[in-house]
Amino acid sequence: MTGRLPHSPRSDARENRARVLEAARAVFGAEGLDAPLREVARHAGVGPATLYRHFPTKRELITAAFAEQRRACRTVVHEALADTDPWRGFCALIERICELHARSRGFADAFLSAFPEARDFAADRERTVRAIAELARRAQESGRLRPGFVVDDLVLMLLAHRGLQDTPAAERLAASRRFAAYVIEAFRAAPEPQAPLPPAPHLTPAPPAR
């Protein structure tokens, strides 16, 4: 016998669904949640009818596309709370949440905003805020976190971090890590011997040649 066996309708459907999810992660990750579904379908190489057959609403597609990031976020929160050093857990949570956001504009949008199609992310946001509040309480009691810190400072930091989505993709992760390092220093209660900052990204345009 030669040639390939034909795919069953069920395997074709699984492959189409996988392509749609991969396309959604790429399109929403690069362009944010306002990207139209027709762009996702085009990127996946399927028709709009196929996309809607698997995901009748944009909300369902967003939730499925970022399931891995949501699991990662829950793991980050769990590990930070379990750290016996509250300041170390607090810093790790800031660094890792920033990295998750830097890797995907769509996930950052869903996590931060009241986007109507992303309300399933509210539990993730609330879980993270509760974790930060608890870690902040412990870190302040240890004397490592400045007394004036409030949870709204985290929201302010993440909103500012959201601006990094406009930096070149190749430099975004480096920019995020340096940003997080500066934020942690701002939250520290007192100066300590400091480790070197993460490398600076190359964001300044080169001067025009003469």
pLDDT in tens, 34-64: 999 999 999 999 999 999 999 999 999 999 9
Distance CA 43, CA 32 (A): 15
Q: Taking residues 110-132, what's their average pLDDT? A: 78
Burial (CB count <10 Å: 0-12, 13-18, 19+), residue 162: middle
Mean pLDDT along residues 191-205: 71
pTM above 0.85, yes or no: no
Note the pLDDT of residue 114. Answer: 60
Highest-confidence range of 39-48, 128-137, 184-193, 199-208, by mean pLDDT?
39-48
158-164 average pLDDT score: 91
Task: Please report, as a single letter, which amino acid is at residue 165.
Answer: Q
pLDDT averaged over the chain? 87
Rounded Cα–Cα distance for residues 34 and 28 (Å): 8
Q: What are phi and psi of 6, to 5 degrees?
A: -70, 145
Find the range with the poorest average confidence among 20-24, 61-65, 177-181, 190-194.
190-194
What's the pLDDT at 205?
54
What is residue 12's predicted lDDT score, i.e. its pLDDT? 84
The rounded percent of the chain whose pLDDT value lies above 70 is 88
**CATH 1.10.10.60 boundaries in the chain:** 9-65
Instruction: State in words which class domain 67-187 has.
Output: mainly alpha
Q: Does domain 9-65 have CATH number 3.30.565.10?
A: no
Please give the C-alpha separations between residue 129 and each of 113, 137, 157, 162, 167, in angstroms, as whole numbers: 14, 12, 13, 17, 26
Q: CATH 1.10.357 in the chain, residues?
A: 67-187
pLDDT at position 164 is: 92
Residue 1: band (very low, low, confident or very high) from pLDDT cuts 50, 70, 90: very low
Average pLDDT rounded to a whole number, residues 128-140: 90
